Amino acid sequence: MLLHYLTLPVNFGIGLANTTINRIPIFGLIFTLATVVFRLPSDIAHFLNGSTSQLQEYQADRFAGKLMNGVGILEFLDDISHLNQKPGDKFCDWITRSHPAIELRHDELTRESQ
């Protein structure tokens, strides 16, 4: 959420410029090049945030496995893996977009328990 609010001024400025300045041919080209420069750190930050949140998911799964002594967490992952198989269900896709694949999480917990 912090990353979203930090990039909000850049996104707002880009949107505002797209409706005003970019309509002038030469200024539009210059501003488009400037947009690439300003958006690059934001895109890198979003990429890093996504990869670290997946690592945190693995850590949370390991913690839950230790907390529950390995009982029930694998079955829970099996249960929620069926949620993604419903056709046309965009909510489950949206809610799990930052999570690793459930099969990978299941394999990671299986390796940890051995």
- Helix/strand/coil (H/E/C) assignment for every residue in the chain: CHHHHHHHHHHHHHHHHHHCHHHCHHHHHHHHHHHHHHHHHHHHHHHHHHHHHHHHHHHHHHHHHHHCCCCCHHHHHHHHHCHHHCCCCHHHHHHCCCCCCHHHHHHHHHHHHC
How far apart, in whole angstroms, are the C-alpha atoms of residue 112 and residue 53?
19
Q: Which of 86, 77, 82 is nearest to 112 (CA)?
A: 77
Given the structure tokens 């080209």, which residue do they identify? 29
Given this model, what pLDDT does residue 80 score?
Answer: 74
Mean of per-residue pLDDT scores for the chain? 78
Instruction: Name the domain count of the chain.
Output: 1
The contacts of residue 61 (CB under 8 Å, 6+ apart) are 73, 77, 105, 108, 109
The reply to whether the predicted model has a pTM over 0.85 is: no
Given this model, what pLDDT does residue 84 score?
Answer: 62
Domain range for 16 is 2-113
Given this model, what pLDDT does residue 79 score?
Answer: 78
Given this model, what pLDDT does residue 114 score?
Answer: 66
Over its length of 114 residues, how does the chain's per-residue pLDDT go in tens digits? 777 777 788 778 778 877 887 778 888 788 878 888 888 888 888 788 777 877 888 888 888 888 887 778 888 877 777 766 666 667 766 766 667 777 888 888 888 766
